[in-house]
Structure 1
Amino acid sequence: MNSLRDLTSDAVLRFGPYAFHPSQRLILEGDRPLRMGGRALDILQVLLERAGDVVSKDELIARVWPTSVVEEINLRVHIAALRRALGDGQNGARYIVNIPQRGYSFIAPVQRTLEATPVFIDSVHAPQHNLPARLTPVIGRDSIVGSIVRQLPVRRFMTLTGPAGIGKTTVALRVAELLLQHYRDGVWLIDLASLDDPAQVADYLTNSLPFDTGLTSRHALLVLDNCEHLLKRCRTLVDDLLAMAPRLSILATSREPLLARDESVLRLPPLAVPPASALYSVAETMSYSAVQLFVSRARARQQGFTLREQDLNAVRDICRRVDGLPLAIELAAAQIDALALVGLQAQLDNCLQLLTQGRRTAVPRHQTLKAALDWSYERLSPLEQMVLQHLAVFKMGFTLDAAIGVISSAVLPPMHLLAIVERLVRKSLLSVEQANVTPRYRFLNTTRTYALEKLENSGHLRALERSHAQYTSRARWFSGVPLAAEFVE
């Protein structure tokens, strides 16, 4: 097949029922324009220029994103959007095929014609959205982002959960960016963090959207960000929206599930951190996403920053001690020019310095890790706050029996303590691991540091330490065997 690479300004490429006008960035099905984003059109043009050939993924990325470093998931998502727009695979029509390990090929016959008169179309619009501009790449989340992008249009309602600083908003916004071309009526961010009154949620949603006729017939994606303090109202709102608008999709972020009907919950894990075992090369260390993020942000802060072999243990220690939390890693990397790696590592002995360093360009709750934790803590009941503080006496993981033995009291009987611990797990302030039959609970290092400071300020730390020591002695006495792991300090 002849190459179509040398296109004149008035060339029109025809295939199936479609006509592509490269000079106008326009594709028609008959006389109807298809809604298609700029990147999808760029990909289509490259594939049409090389119709019948296999175009490698690297070449496509280089042609479509010539000045940017992007993940392969970008290409896959736009290819999928392009196939959907063309009806690829429907009624026997095939246009774009994936050649495993090689790339993509446009396999339908393509004809080039010349038309001197341009097509005038008034109804072609740019994608509709209110998403903020992303200033830095998203690191270490390709698999999760790709999974949500594939599932969300089908499942319609998904909730991202996880602790403060884990990157729920970052992942949600990246998903929204990649789905811009899929939703005919746009992608809309509704940030609920500034609302305290549940009665205002519906009006706030309506005022954030550009639609005069409501959502009933809209094909759109809503990103409901920061739902945790308005759970009951958000639950009702989501149920109502999905029932009345069958083409609507919703992606929510919350530190705990909404428990709404048909909710698919995805708990966001920390970034991958290097193991405690020895590291032998820069390349090995850079294979972990927590290190990739640290190095990326350190380079943005300190020109010429390079990870060297003598730095590997320090960087690993930093990433592990902040639990692989993206926000904590970014805050740590921001201090690289002032403290250098050795100084930064020393500051992490209690994390307090890190907790109070700020990012002036972020929203208030993301400017410091302390602010992010304050956001969760201030929304706990007084009894939940007390339990969170008291549990910080455990340096390692602990069982429910250990928690009852150390902090239970007349004010806090065992059954109440169990219910509160389960609520703290749902709110992403504790994690739970199923060790054999007995669940074990654990703090993130940063959360424990925060809670321990609260406990010390309350004046109850010494009493809890004595209770912990007494319970440890009793457990050792009655067991007659080496102490359980929750007491290995």
Structure 2
Amino acid sequence: MPMGDSELLFGPFALSLARRELRLGGLPVALGARAFDLLALLAGRAGEVVGKREIADRLWPGCDLERSRLRAHVASLRRALREGEDGSRYIVNVLGRGYVFVAPVRRGSPGAGLLPPAPEPLVGRDGALAALAALVRERRLVSIVGAGGLGKSALALAAARRAAPCFADGVAYLDLAPLDDGAQLAEALAEAVGLPAGAAWPGLCAALAGRRLLLVLDNCGHLAEPAALLAEALLEAAPQLHLLATSREALCLRAEWVHRLAPLELPGPALDLFALRLGGAARLDPAGLSRAARLCRQLEGNPLLIGLAAARAREVGIAALADGVDALFDQADGGAADCGRHRSPAALLDWSCRLLAPRERAVLYRLAAFRQAFTLDQAILACACARIDAGAVVESILALGARSLVEVVDVEAGGDGARYRLSNATRCYARRRLGYEDQAPAPARRAAAGPAVAVMLP
């Protein structure tokens, strides 16, 4: 690989020679032009002593460089590399000869495994971020699990950036959302960790075996089973590897620590996010603030829905969103379940529901009848029919709960067992989908429900 087309990877850092950029955990590190050239020279010849005269001739041609000036540049570079933190060492002075870069360096393809840039600051997630940054250092598999739109990916990326200095081989990122099936995982993983495309699985395991690396597996939900198999194999093959996964359901592995992500607190952080997306709280008068707080409660602190509502409010005014979730669903139809799933509430829930079994989908639609929390017995009365018996209703609700589509409400003292509920957005989506099925011609209803499930309420 030509020098100008490669990256030098060491510790948690990536040095892009083509872009003349040093990154730590995906974020750029400020370096002057001379400091960059010095780092590129030393890291490019890692393990080799580079003489002071050669450094001067390469970086300051034709100048009589003072030793103190070179030492100052080296000291500045060491500060940029955070040398000494967690015992890290990068540049060593060889007395009377020059300097040697002592950290292991490997070459990678440009952009391999880089963390995507943070689109905007996190709001209301300080506690969760601090907890996750500590967890990924201590535990080898941490999964952020929650409903769609809660900001699992943004939180995972922020936690990975914060934890990056603790991993000698840095952070790699693999987004599973564009993948159609598990057969693509090996090739995608090879690209994410900077290995040649087409690397066989044994070679991948061997290459990762000695790395102390944090690997982010983002958007595992639609490939939960192959993602779990991948994670299990990696944990066994690479004892220093740590994994941070995001999914709407847990991977159900013994080593997994599940962090269930809650909505934003109401009204504070949720209202702060709405104001940020709207363009500032100054745009809201007291009546507008009251309407915004009510809207955030209707949207139940879901960051994606709050962002969509703020964008809509910029166009039509907040008063036009008095219907809450229904107003957002009226804005656009469901659309296809693709990588644009965050463009509307219906597209988001289409993505969540597309992998449901027909029976689970039918039960979800029927649960839209409940505006309040319900028990399993009540759900059976509403959902069971000749083709879906009571046991199938219970199994479907448990499966929907595992996928973060049904919420479990705490058992009430003296009550009749656990209670369940749909979020406002999920209930609105299910009600509209059920209405669509009701109005569709009989062949379309049968196709949507599956060969053995009737979606129509009995």
TM-score by length of 2: 0.70
Offset at residue 179 of structure 1 (A): 1.9
Check 1:401–1:186 CA distance in 2 against 1; reply closer, same or farther (3 A cut). same
CA distance in 1, matches of 2:127, 2:97: 42
Q: Deviations over 1:359-378 (max 9, x none)?
A: xxx95122222221111111
Check 1:235–1:135 CA distance in 2 against 1; reply closer, same or farther (3 A cut). closer
Offset at residue 129 of structure 1 (A): 5.0
For 2:316, the equivalent position in structure 1 comes to 339
Counting only pairs closer than 5 Å after superposition, residues 262-273 of structure 1 correspond to structure 2 as 262-273=255-266
TM-score by length of 1: 0.66
CA distance in 2, matches of 1:259, 1:375: 21
Matched, 1:25 2:1: no
Judge conservation of contact 2:321–2:327 (CA < 8 Å) in 1.
no
Judge conservation of contact 2:113–2:174 (CA < 8 Å) in 1.
no
Query: SS of the counterpart of 1:233?
Result: helix
For 1:146, the equivalent position in structure 2 comes to 130
2:137 maps to amino acid = P
For 2:233, the equivalent position in structure 1 comes to 240
For 2:436, the equivalent position in structure 1 comes to 457
Query: SS of the counterpart of 1:165?
Result: coil
CA distance in 2, matches of 1:119, 1:134: 39
CA distance in 1, matches of 2:117, 2:398: 38
Matched, 1:327 2:304: yes
CA distance in 1, matches of 2:158, 2:217: 14
Judge conservation of contact 1:149–1:179 (CA < 8 Å) in 2.
yes
2:76 maps to amino acid = R
Offset at residue 344 of structure 1 (A): 2.7
Q: Deviations over 1:254-277 (max 9, x none)?
A: 100000121000110000112xxx
Query: SS of the counterpart of 1:217?
Result: coil
For 1:179, the equivalent position in structure 2 comes to 163
Matched, 1:404 2:380: yes
Judge conservation of contact 1:220–1:247 (CA < 8 Å) in 2.
yes
CA distance in 2, matches of 1:441, 1:460: 28
In structure 2, the gaps of 5 or more residues are 1-65, 90-95, 197-205, 441-453
Q: Deviations over 1:384-418 (max 9, x none)?
A: 11111011111111111111112211211111110
Counting only pairs closer than 5 Å after superposition, residues 61-140 of structure 1 correspond to structure 2 as 83-85=85-87, 120-122=99-101, 129-140=113-124
For 2:199, the equivalent position in structure 1 comes to none
For 1:414, the equivalent position in structure 2 comes to 390
Judge conservation of contact 1:226–1:254 (CA < 8 Å) in 2.
yes
For 2:450, the equivalent position in structure 1 comes to none
CA distance in 1, matches of 2:150, 2:183: 29
Query: SS of the counterpart of 1:450?
Result: helix
Offset at residue 382 of structure 1 (A): 0.9
Check 1:337–1:229 CA distance in 2 against 1; reply closer, same or farther (3 A cut). closer
Counting only pairs closer than 5 Å after superposition, residues 285-434 of structure 1 correspond to structure 2 as 288-299=268-279, 305-346=282-323, 348-353=325-330, 363-434=339-410
Check 1:449–1:236 CA distance in 2 against 1; reply closer, same or farther (3 A cut). same
Query: SS of the counterpart of 2:305?
Result: helix
CA distance in 2, matches of 1:146, 1:118: 44
Judge conservation of contact 1:10–1:23 (CA < 8 Å) in 2.
no
Judge conservation of contact 1:331–1:357 (CA < 8 Å) in 2.
no
Query: SS of the counterpart of 2:283?
Result: coil
Check 1:455–1:119 CA distance in 2 against 1; reply closer, same or farther (3 A cut). farther
CA distance in 2, matches of 1:357, 1:314: 26
For 1:52, the equivalent position in structure 2 comes to none
Matched, 1:446 2:430: no
CA distance in 2, matches of 1:348, 1:128: 39
Give the length in aligned residue pairs: 356
Query: SS of the counterpart of 2:322?
Result: helix
Offset at residue 351 of structure 1 (A): 3.6
CA distance in 2, matches of 1:378, 1:370: 12
Q: Work out which of the residue numbers 220, 226, 230 in structure 2 matches 1:227.
A: 220
Cα-Cα RMSD: 3.3
Q: Work out which of the residue numbers 141, 145, 160 in structure 2 matches 1:161.
A: 145
Judge conservation of contact 1:348–1:354 (CA < 8 Å) in 2.
no
Matched, 1:260 2:253: yes
CA distance in 2, matches of 1:140, 1:458: 39
1:25 maps to amino acid = S
CA distance in 2, matches of 1:167, 1:314: 24
CA distance in 2, matches of 1:426, 1:24: 52
Judge conservation of contact 1:407–1:464 (CA < 8 Å) in 2.
no
For 2:209, the equivalent position in structure 1 comes to 216
CA distance in 2, matches of 1:184, 1:241: 18
1:340 maps to amino acid = G
CA distance in 2, matches of 1:460, 1:181: 57
CA distance in 1, matches of 2:457, 2:112: 60
Moved more, 364-373 or 215-224: 364-373
Judge conservation of contact 2:113–2:192 (CA < 8 Å) in 1.
no
Q: Deviations over 1:428-478 (max 9, x none)?
A: 0010112325111111101111111100011189x99987xxxxxxxxxxx
Judge conservation of contact 1:350–1:449 (CA < 8 Å) in 2.
no
Offset at residue 306 of structure 1 (A): 3.2
In structure 1, the gaps of 5 or more residues are 1-8, 13-19, 28-35, 42-81, 88-116, 275-287, 468-489
Offset at residue 177 of structure 1 (A): 1.4
Check 1:265–1:252 CA distance in 2 against 1; reply closer, same or farther (3 A cut). same
Matched, 1:207 2:186: no
Q: Deviations over 1:147-181 (max 9, x none)?
A: 01111111111001111111111111111111222
1:332 maps to amino acid = A
Offset at residue 211 of structure 1 (A): 3.8
Check 1:297–1:150 CA distance in 2 against 1; reply closer, same or farther (3 A cut). same
CA distance in 2, matches of 1:366, 1:260: 28
Q: Deviations over 1:67-102 (max 9, x none)?
A: xxxxxxxxxxxxxxx752379xxxxxxxxxxxxxxx
Query: SS of the counterpart of 2:149?
Result: coil
